Amino acid sequence: MKALFIVLAYCLGAVPFGYVLFRQSEKKDIRLFGSRSTGATNVLRLKGWKYAAPVVVFDVLKAAVPVWLALRLFDDRRVALAAAFMAVLGHCFPLFIRFRGGKGVSTAMGSYAVLAPLPFSLSLVIFIGVIAWTRYVSLGSLLAALSFPALALVIQRDRELALIGLAVFLLIALRHAGNIRRLSRGEERKFGQRLEAKD
């Protein structure tokens, strides 16, 4: 039962809401434009907040819900930790669209909000603060993702959560490899810059 639940967490995480919404609106594959991600930041650049906001909500909930359920259904917190990681993995590498999905940040946030509200809140402050200061969403995402396992270890003294957080950070960093290269060259797009979905 636990193994099945963890697989289902991956499947829910793999539902590519940004991809589906963009496909319905533009009749195009969002992965051909902008950052080539299915996540909310790329949707925002291509379609604006009207489309990006529901993507954020869904991407957060598709991790928060299975983690919340795991904590209540099983007398084993490791199931919730595994569900958190698998939901992020599903978002980044979704089975349904040939393993090319989003970058995992919103989905990670959804799981962290349930697992560790205080460390999550502090990492969210870092996320917002870095974006406000630099206007780079990718930089804010990476620093927030990196801060969470450290905060989980220092504040909650939870080594297992810190290890899962570190694994999630490595996954997020992998999906941000292109952003990291652009940041190093000073070519990264800043928050608020709009793009058009041109063939």
User: Cβ contacts of residue 78 below 8 Å, gap of 6+?
Assistant: 160
- Least Cα distance to 33 among 24, 46, 20, 44 occurs for 46
Q: Which pLDDT value is given to residue 194?
A: 66
Which amino acid is residue 35, in one-letter code?
A: S
φ and ψ of 72, to 5 deg:
-100, -25
pLDDT digits (tens, 9 = 90+) for 126-163: 999 999 999 999 999 999 999 999 999 999 999 999 99
Q: Which pLDDT value is given to residue 159?
A: 96
User: DSSP code of 189?
Assistant: P
At 75, is the pLDDT very low, low, confident or very high (cuts 50, 70, 90)? confident
The C-alpha atoms of residue 51 and residue 54 are separated, in whole angstroms, by: 6
Q: Where are the domains of the chain?
A: 2-185
Q: What is the DSSP string of 41-82?
A: HHHHHHH-HHHHHHHHHHHHHHHHHHHHHHHHH-S-HHHHHH
pTM: 0.93
CB atoms within 10 A of CB 133: 10
